[in-house]
Structure 1
Amino acid sequence: MKDQAAPGDGPGATARQRLSTRETAERLGVKPETVYAYVSRGQLSSRRAPGGRGSTFDVAEVDALARRTGRRESSAATGDLVFRTGITLIESDRYYFRGVDATALARQYAYEEVAEWLWTGHLRPDIRFTAPAEALAAAGRAVDALPAHSGSTDRLRVAVIAAATADPLRFDLSREAVLASARSLIPTLVGALPLASRASSTGDGSGGRADVSGVGLARRLWPKLTARPADEPSVTALDTALALLIDHDLAASTLAARVAASAHAHPYAVVSAGLGVLEGPLHGAASSLAHRMLTEVLERGSAVPVVADHLRTGRRVPGLGHRLYTSEDPRAQTLFALLADVPQAAPALAAARDVVTTTARHAPLHANVDLALAVLSVSSGMAAEAGETVFAVSRTAGWIAHALEEYGERPLRIRPSGQYEGPRPPQPLPTPAGGPLQ
């Protein structure tokens, strides 16, 4: 559309582009009715089109509104809710943190360093997060009060709430306050988890929960996941997994975290919102299913009967395929390469490749990060839910990054409208199923 002089502009005035109502709606990713709602609320100004047919809108004003509301033109075509973000880009089967290849970052830097980069755009070599004693003690007591059968996500959710109660400044949403809360919350979550084996307790009466300053988060998390002694290649793989999983655009849990942040919930509540969604079997819990599948493949000696059982019962083969990648998940590629250097991972790695090859006869699906996490957990003697724990701890940093962005937006902007499909009013008052009230 070429620039046109708006009605009333003199011949020497600078021409400014005008958009029709339909074009404005597409640019904002809303219905035409919503455009007029923006006009009525004073968020947009309109002019009658030449000839008096319809309205026109200034393109600069429309783009400014799109930035404030977080909508953009592509949402109209896909029907998806789209947010402007400077955190993660997924493009051409790769993904990037702040424009830097995320897999390269994860291979080069520790989890805490990548988290700090994501939050601030500044690299702080050798940074280590520290859990405040009061928060760690509160979270540990809360976790210990749970039933023995509680899962790791149960423990993490309780630990977040307990840590929040120990932080009277949690309602301060200034950037520095939120960052301080994040740097203390993540090691508190790790510290609150019980040791995989009480026999490996530190012997200091803390149940292995004393925060060890100067030690990387992956090394602190290792004894919470497995009783096996830590070896350098395995801890490196765990640390890389944590860094790889920090963020992955607007996954379901991240959207929940942004909704909470949009309501100006404090960072602990934001993380709680993300954890609630993460527990779904189609999100963070997917690696547990892949772990159980790999265990069965190893027990039966081949992926063929295991994959056949999944297909026969109509179940998806876990750990395969990803809607954002046409080839192998780059996170899985990176982890597989590291696990190839871990001798005890060889059987599980071969089982994973067997699953991919066997399934390819039925559908050309590639490995995703859940299968790679399952190789790590199976080969390290971890429980089936270990991958879910790694996912939750790691993604906490991503939720905080998105919260920091959302705190800078217009509050409560994430407010979709429902399309009512129930009975039209007026309807009579309902009566009890047994008849009228006596």
Structure 2
Amino acid sequence: MRDQQPAPGRPGRRLSTKETAEVLGVKPETVYAYVSRGQLSSTREPGGRGSTFDAKEVEALARRNRRETSMSSGSGGELSVRTRITLIDKDRYYFRGVDATELAAHHSYEEVAEWLWTGRMRPGVTFTAPEAAVAVARRAVDALPEHTAPIDRLRVGAIAAAAEDPLRFDLSEEAVLGTARVLIPTLVAALPPQPYAHHHDEGPLARRLWGRLTGHEADEASLRALDTALALLVDHDLAASTLAVRVAASARAHAYAAVSAGLGVIEGPLHGAASGLAHRMLLDVLERGTAVPVIADELRAGRRIPGLGHRLYPGEDPRARALFALMERVPRAEPALLAARDIVATTARHTPLHANVDLALAVLTVSSGMPATAGETVFAIARTAGWIAHALEEYGERPLRMRPSGHYVGPRPPQALPE
């Protein structure tokens, strides 16, 4: 690191972009990401070819990054990661400081995704994918067995789209945003249309997704509910799949690979697949006419009741509240809504648990004639935008910071060679 002459009126040592990147342990393009986020200030010197940075400010940022790290131990031994994307606080959650349910009520999924990525609103934005990417993804997905689950189709579609993109290793913010705006509609277009469905390949993403989930005709109230569900589910802090995405991004995996990591985790029954369990339970209640025997059977089998309770919300899940309110405007949803309320009331006799978003999503999927896997598909498509936001944030951090140390508890060495 060499000394530079102070700029007039700006006392102190100045660093070049390359020197600043070395101090921070990042790529030069990441230095400008810090500038765009207001974490670092730059000055273009008269007659100079690039920007310079105040050495003290750079060193302070480096210290802050080391101190707050990467990954630090939080309360209760849980891991915590610095993020500016989502805050969950007192039965509400916020995207970049704005109430997420309000955003979803007034903006489309695509608009909320743009807000999450850039902190700017782009009214009327829609995502489109080039025909070449869609064709490659469709061919790969169509080659899978007929019984293949939607999440497996999405994973294969993401891999195929990556193989078609020669610029996938460009991790600059502009390139990653371009990838996001193409990948999401490509994943939707790669899903096979449902029989008898009037599928669309243009217009809002929710309308394009509808025909991949059900053969029922779409009414405006149901489409609005699906679009809002996508916007509500776009991110939820560091859920398991999101942490997997950040680990991949920390290792500088490209955006397609990071999304693939998230898709791999989301399939678990305690994550994205939870809405499918709630869907099947809701159908059981509708068939039997009451929730009492259904709840009894679940408890007798030693299972928790799907669609109820959330570790982050002592009260009602705000996503469920917003989605239930929209489903009340869908006439054909009334039986499923009544069944969901019966489930909550029956369980509340012994344990006062509130409905979570999985139960609300099940009301949407059941009343729309969708399969049990549809909620997981909605969840994955929605969360892809959030994963991209977290990958972008992680690309601006020190590489490989998601590398905790193992606490070895095995036999102490030296041990004899096994025979």
In the superposition, the TM-score normalised over structure 1's length comes to 0.81
Residue type at the aligned position of 2:197 = S
Cα distance, 1:189 vs. partner? 0.3
Q: Distance in 2 between matches of 1:386 and 1:168?
A: 32
Matches within 5 A, 1:284-299: 284-299=272-287
Residue type at the aligned position of 2:415 = Q
Residue type at the aligned position of 1:279 = E
293, 300, 303: which one aligns with 1:315: 303
Q: Distance in 1 between matches of 2:257 and 2:75?
A: 33
Corresponding residue SS for 2:94: strand
Residue type at the aligned position of 1:415 = R
2:361 pairs with 1:373: yes
Matches within 5 A, 1:140-179: 140-179=138-177
Corresponding residue SS for 1:200: coil
Matches within 5 A, 1:12-411: 63-67=64-68, 69-71=69-71, 75-197=73-195, 199-200=196-197, 211-212=201-202, 215-411=203-399
Corresponding residue SS for 2:112: helix
Tell me, yes or no, if the aligned pair for 1:131 and 1:211 is still in contact at 8 Å: no
Label 1:320 to 1:121 Cα distance change in 2 as closer, same or farther (>3 A). same
Gaps of 5+ in 2: 1-59
Cα distance, 1:71 vs. partner? 4.3
Cα distance, 1:70 vs. partner? 2.9
Cα distance, 1:304 vs. partner? 0.4
User: Radius of gyration: which is bigger?
Assistant: 1
Q: Distance in 2 between matches of 1:94 and 1:76?
A: 21
Tell me, yes or no, if the aligned pair for 1:348 and 1:378 is still in contact at 8 Å: yes
Gaps of 5+ in 1: 1-58, 202-207, 432-438
Higher relative contact order (CA 8 A, sep 6+): 2
Deviations 1:314-359 (A, max 9, x none): 1110000000001110000000000000000000000000000000
405, 415, 419: which one aligns with 1:427: 415
Corresponding residue SS for 1:247: coil
Q: Distance in 2 between matches of 1:344 and 1:77?
A: 45
- The root-mean-square deviation of aligned C-alpha atoms, in Å, is 1.5
Q: Distance in 2 between matches of 1:120 and 1:62?
A: 26
In the superposition, the TM-score normalised over structure 2's length comes to 0.84
Deviations 1:178-222 (A, max 9, x none): 00000000000000000111x336xxxxxx5x832xx00000000
Q: Distance in 2 between matches of 1:61 and 1:186?
A: 35
Q: Distance in 2 between matches of 1:95 and 1:79?
A: 23
Residue type at the aligned position of 2:123 = P
The share of aligned pairs that are identical, in percent, is 71
Residue type at the aligned position of 1:126 = G
Deviations 1:63-119 (A, max 9, x none): 45224x2345xx343211111111000001100000000000001000000000100
Corresponding residue pairs, total = 361
